[in-house]
Amino acid sequence: MIKLLNRQLDDGGLPIEQQVLMVQHGDIELQNQLLKAYQPFVAKTVSEVCKRYISQTKDDEFSIGLFAFNEAMGSYSADKGSSFLSFARLVIKRKVIDFIRKESNKPVVASLDVYSEEDQMENPAEVKLSKTLYQQETDEWNRREEIAELSIKLQEYKLTFEELTCISPKHADARESAIRIARMICDDEELKSYVLKKKKVPIKKLVPLVDVSKKTLERNRKYILAMFIVLSEDYVYLKDYLKGVGQ
């Protein structure tokens, strides 16, 4: 009876977030339906990363994306402050990017077979260079995509890139301190929930926890907030810039 009711609700147009919650509660039939129904979404997202048409039957990248979509259904939480499809898109991109990077790092092995001039293999060095250039172009495209996504996310917190350019701490140690505070907020569930809900830095809660003054926190609050957004979301490339900083 419950499953029948679920199917009827689904047919009536339940929001995807509610359907995902039902999947998390063990609705395997709905999980399989969503995996099938959202294959075009997965293929489109994967093609955005790979910058080419993606076949749902032939490309390994599509399989990686479908597994990622399934993983997103299991790990999604509305408390993260984004819609399920936005969250799933980031998870798919992250997994496909990781796959592409691993594939690009595989060594090129030269064959020892003898070929005629007509059937001569490509130069391994040229193949490696081509893969490197392709990877660089893909990375650059995806980096621009993440920046565009971050720009939209910043608007939820009433921030803009232009504003951040003006208020970003000018000294490296001040920037590192702000990033350290952003990491601390991400690692503390209470502080993280506060920021996700209120869309602002909990200055009063932070004062006794950090080694900077309240005045400094106030001055750098927008930069701290922006770094929190980058660290708390699945921005694969943007997080690379913060590796080792504030840790």
**Domain at 73, CATH number:** 1.10.1740.10
Residue finishing a domain among 105, 120, 143:
105
Residues 193-245 have pLDDT tens digits of 999 999 999 999 999 999 889 999 999 999 999 999 988 887 777 777 776 66
In a domain, 54, yes or no: yes
Residue finishing a domain among 75, 90, 105:
105
In a domain, 116, yes or no: no
What are the strands, taking DSSP E only, across the chain? none
Distance CA 61, CA 31 (A): 21
3-state secondary structure 133-193: HHHHHHHHHHHHHHHHHHHHHHHHCCCCHHHHHHHCCCCHHHHHHHHHHHHHHHHCHHHHH
Residue finishing a domain among 105, 136, 152:
105
- Are residues 97 and 10 part of one domain? yes
In a domain, 152, yes or no: no
Distance of CA 8 to the CA centre of its chain: 33
In a domain, 30, yes or no: yes
Average pLDDT over residues 28-32: 93
Q: Which residue has the higher pLDDT, 156 or 128?
A: 156
- Are residues 94 and 183 part of one domain? no
In a domain, 123, yes or no: no
- Quote the number of domains for the chain: 2
- Are residues 165 and 90 part of one domain? no
Distance CA 169, CA 149 (A): 23
Of 87-101, 121-135, 197-211, which gets the smallest average pLDDT? 121-135
- Are residues 88 and 174 part of one domain? no
- Are residues 180 and 92 part of one domain? no
DSSP letter (8 states) at residue 59: -
Length of the chain: 247
Residue 73 predicted with pLDDT over 80: yes
In a domain, 227, yes or no: yes
What pLDDT sits at residue 119?
40
Residue ranges making up the domain that contains 51: 1-105
In a domain, 84, yes or no: yes
In a domain, 49, yes or no: yes
Distance CA 76, CA 235 (A): 16
Distance CA 76, CA 38 (A): 16
Tokens of 98: 């990781």
End-to-end CA distance of the chain: 52
Considering the entire predicted model, what is its pTM?
0.54
DSSP letter (8 states) at residue 53: -
